[in-house]
Structure 1
Amino acid sequence: MHSLLYRKDNAHEDSIWSCAWGRLKKKEEENGDAEGSRDSTTAEESVDYIVTGAVDDLVKVWTFKQDRLELKHKLEGHSLGVVSVAINSDSTTCASSSLDSSLRLWDLATGEKISSIEVGPVDIWTVAFSPDDKFIISGSHSGKINLYGVESAKITYEEVKSRERGNGRGKIAISNSPDGKYIASGAIDGIINIFDVASGKLVHTLEGHAMPIRSLCFSPDSQLLLTASDDGHMKLYDVQHANVAGTLSGHASWVLSVAFSPDNQHFVSSSSDQTVRVWELSSRQCIHTFNEHTDQVWGVKYNPDGNKVVSVSEDRAVNIYDCPV
């Protein structure tokens, strides 16, 4: 049964704009007991990290255990609101972008800043790690998609410049396909562009939304692209054939964030209508609506198991839901 599992009120001092959920697997030595009845073994323990970014300029790292959130680190350094956070694949590092035109890398275990990239007088809007964790991709209001080298912490490659005629200007949503082949960007004018990573060239331009694209994500098998727009709708696109595989309606206002479950069976959405909705991919139907937030819900993500969801909102709360698979 879908239910609210935990709510952290006043998790930040201002609106929470972004969230990410990762899992660090670590090995610990287990010693035998006093009687020597157990040999020394290596046990694998995991730690779930939830990272949130907010208008209060802070990035917060939380651990989620025993169905509760505990604050692990308060990451300070940004001078304006944090609009996007991302966690790399092994959950050792997180990236944050801010309206102060900086992108920062942080060590999740220690809370130390690894590096910072200042990108000049344009704001970075979204950040995501490449599947191999070697790069961070970002989109900006200037209409560019940039790749930053994680190790060098310097701009290493400018992927795409603004297209002519203004199409796709203002990249406010961006996503990497899990197979590493494509980057998708969603723009203020509702245009979605899909680029081939190897060549850096535009391979598809997808239309169908008439208003800004707030969020988009590839399915775990990289076959579908899910988009969310201010027009109140979501669309599923067949990536290979560049056609619409489904249009989903149900939210009463802007759709602000979408995320696929790891098992490719469900996806989740959040909206300015203050709700979080869980959808079944096969039927394209909403199977549950959460109404626990009291303001627009800016971000939502699944946990690595796909059985829980985190959401963050203008109401400054972090909610964790049970979403049985």
Structure 2
Amino acid sequence: MNISALIVTYNRLDKLKKTWAASKLLPFNHIIIIDNASTDGTADWLGSLDDARLSVITSPKNDGGAGGFYCGAEWIAKNIDADWVMVFDDDAYPTPDLLDTFDKIDKQGVDAFATKVITPSGMRCKMNIPWKKIPNSLSEIISYQKNDTDFVARNNDITPICTFSFVGLIIKHDVLKETYYNINKDLFIYYDDIYYSWYLNSSGFKLVYRPELVFIHDVPESDITPPPWKVYYLVRNLLLSFKIFNNNRPFSHISILFRVFKYFLMVLKSQSKINFAKAIFLGIKDGFSKK
């Protein structure tokens, strides 16, 4: 099995070191790291690494996760011959037995796999749970709030899915090569993986969640209100789905309205309420006006 790793990093050298330490132990044929113009010494550290499998691609500017994954996918499509590509951020890393486990599972007819993503303490990472059905009607949204069983991949069940996260994604090289230009690099962060996987699923590619494939995501385990600049992208990119997908959107009007309303509720928890509210309104403006 020929499998390559794609890692995107920006100014998180301490976490990147942990990710590299875990990744280099696995039998990847190639390890590609996209450095999004880091300013914290990442470039010098990457330059000191001695591993024939490693290719470092330095972006002239920080294009966010979306731009980084687009850049890496394009580079792999044009320069690497592989069977599969594993995709992850600089704060995530595969468990030691992941590739051995992946080698043994039935891959027939599957174009991309989502792994089970957990925190270092073993809790399931909420932000990386794949959708098997997005709740889009009012009744579905209410049902989802009460019990998400019908909508997300269950913890320990093999599940067909309609979206995945870019943390722990394993995708066929040929599929990535054919479709990478559908990774919307202009999104910067948030929804880039949701929109790309929605496109794949809508185009007939088969996506499956496999719980025996485990990834670690080193993120806070408690709910933390994001800073205003992140909320801007959450709102803007959600509304950009109207232009990106036309009628075949992953989120309905009512689902988008519900999500934006939830972001407004975050204002109450924010320590910078005025800036938080401004970020939401700017996200709404740019989400509807951006060409």
- Does the TM-score normalized on the shorter chain lie above 0.5? no
TM-score normalised by L of structure 1 = 0.25
Give the number of the structure whose residues are more often helix, by fraction.
Answer: 2
Larger Rg: 1
TM-score, normalised via structure 2 length: 0.27
Structure having the larger proportion of residues in strand: 1
